[in-house]
A and B are shown apart, each in its own frame.
Chain A
Amino acid sequence: MLVNQFLILAAVLFCIGVYGVIARRNAVMVLMSIELILNSVNINFLAFALRNGSVDGHVFALYIIAVAAAEVGVGLALVLLVYRNRKSIALDELSEMKG
């Protein structure tokens, strides 16, 4: 197995996630795209851990999984709050802070 096949797979997933963040209007869908991005980073960490023969990449992958879980929890609570106040979670309608 090449190092690059994992890295390029991770790059493809990252770019699909970036497209989702830019293109999606629904806040829950944007959070899902962020999950794609975080997963591609994890694949990179584990590929480099195997390449360098070290355990540090595994530790960081576990930390990223924990931070992603916290992020989804807070993010969905925010989405819920916005929905309760606005009856909509379309991100382009949240423009109170526009100058």
Chain B
Amino acid sequence: MVAQNIAFGIIAVIMVVGALRVVTVNNVVHAALWLVLVLAGAAAQYILLAAEFVAVTQVLVYIGAVMVLFLFGTMLTRAQLGKEKQLNNPTWYFGIPASLLLLGVMILALTSSFGDEKLPTDSELVSTQAISDQIFGPYLLPFWALSFVLLAAIIGAIVLARKD
């Protein structure tokens, strides 16, 4: 249990620092690389939460596909890849009180409702078979809807990004 807590602490610090760098750094490519760190940390947290299939999917889809999309989007929409001064809104400082207020409310609600409730320690890794039994059983209809969403997204992206 102590080892898990230490691992959680290290990964959590890496994730929070990476996320802060994503929203503060003045270079889009660097922000994308910091985002890779946050996403990899999230995958590690999923493994700590006994969700290996979701962790592997996170690495495949986010770090593999979404980050490539982001880097392509950066390359296609910007003349220079260096620093840029105009990355923030003129009124960017309004975000600080808004997010701190939100964080305060959330932490207050979480501590008052969950306190120091512990996660079960004897749980096994959730098998991929159990997940697929759920997806292709009770959650089949959302799965179909999701495949239509992906189809629509693919067609929409092609139509939007076409030259003529």
Contacts and interface: CB of A to CB of B under 8 A. Distances in A.
A58 B131 contact: yes
A85 B4 CA distance: 51
A31 B57 contact: no
Contacts of B99: 15-16, 18-19, 22
A51 interface: yes
B149 A70 contact: yes
Nearest to B152: A70
B49 interface: yes
B80 interface: no
Interface residues of B, number: 88
Contacts of B8: 1, 5-6
Contact of B76 (A42, A46, A47, A80): A80
Contacts of B110: 4, 7-8, 11
Contacts of B54: 42, 46, 58, 61-62, 65
A18 B95 contact: yes
Contacts of A27: 77
B66 interface: yes
Main secondary structure of the interface of A (DSSP, over half): helix
Interface of B: 1, 4-5, 8, 12, 15-16, 19-20, 22-23, 28, 31-32, 35, 38-39, 42, 45-46, 48-51, 53-54, 57-58, 61-62, 65-66, 69-70, 72-74, 76-77, 84, 86-90, 92-96, 98-100, 102-103, 106-107, 110-111, 114-121, 123, 126, 130-131, 133-135, 139, 142-143, 146, 149-150, 152-154, 156-158, 160-161
Interface of A: 1-9, 11-29, 31-33, 35-36, 39, 42-43, 46-47, 49-51, 53, 55-56, 58-59, 61-63, 65-74, 76-81, 83, 89-92
